[in-house]
């Protein structure tokens, strides 16, 4: 069976800045971690990390967010853009922490888990 590289990009906007994670799952899989456009480091992913990422991708479900009432008191403290691309698919997800809090339980669970896994790869090394 022919396998194709998967590219994943996660961009997280916080009140105080921007974190960006770029991953490539291929023969040599890598993660590049940036903060406000400065590359902090690049490293290869190990087989356990690759397996966890592939499992998280397999269970992705498209969340259906409900329309939120605009409330000037509540402002999103973070927003996310998650892009997955390969030769046979392209998926893009955008959400804010308010979307997750206001939605039905588990609606955003699969994308939040993948985003959390990607962010945790920064902490493991």
Q: 3-state secondary structure string, 13-35?
A: EECCEEEEEEEEECCCCEEEEEE
Residue 44 domain-assigned? Answer: yes
Residue 87 domain-assigned? Answer: yes
Most confident region among 14-18, 39-43, 58-62, 66-70 by mean pLDDT: 58-62
The band of 2, judged by pLDDT with boundaries at 50, 70 and 90, is low
The band of 79, judged by pLDDT with boundaries at 50, 70 and 90, is very high
Residue 1 domain-assigned? Answer: no
25: domain CATH number is: 3.30.1560.10
Edge-to-edge strand order for the sheet containing 38-44? 38-44, 30-35, 17-25, 6-14, 78-85, 90-96
Tell me what pLDDT residue 37 has: 67
Residue 76 domain-assigned? Answer: yes
Chain mean pLDDT for the chain? 85
Number of domains in the chain: 1
DSSP class of residue 36?
Answer: T
Q: Which of 43, 80, 83, 53 is nearest to 65 (CA)?
A: 80
What's the CA gap between 90 and 102, in Å, rounded? 27
Q: Quick check: 34 and 19 in contact, CB under 8 A?
A: yes
Residue 76's domain spans which residues? 6-123
Residue 75 domain-assigned? Answer: yes
Q: Which of 41, 32, 30, 42 is nearest to 11 (CA)?
A: 32
Q: What is the pLDDT of residues 36-48, one digit of tens each?
A: 767 788 899 999 9
Residue 59 domain-assigned? Answer: yes
What's the CA gap between 83 and 6, in Å, rounded? 10
């Amino acid at each position: 069976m022919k396998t194709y590289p998967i590219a994943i990009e996660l961009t997280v906007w916080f009140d105080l800045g921007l974190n960006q994670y770029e991953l490539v799952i291929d023969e040599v899989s890598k993660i590049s971690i940036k903060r406000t456009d400065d590359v902090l480091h690049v490293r290869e992913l190990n087989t356990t990390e690759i397996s966890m990422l592939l499992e998280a991708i397999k269970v992705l479900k498209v969340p259906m967010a409900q329309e939120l009432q605009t409330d000037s008191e509540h402002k999103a403290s973070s927003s996310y853009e998650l892009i997955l691309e390969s030769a046979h698919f392209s998926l893009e997800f955008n959400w804010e922490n308010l979307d997750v809090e206001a939605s039905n339980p588990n609606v955003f669970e699969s994308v939040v888990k993948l985003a959390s896994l990607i962010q945790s790869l920064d902490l493991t090394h």
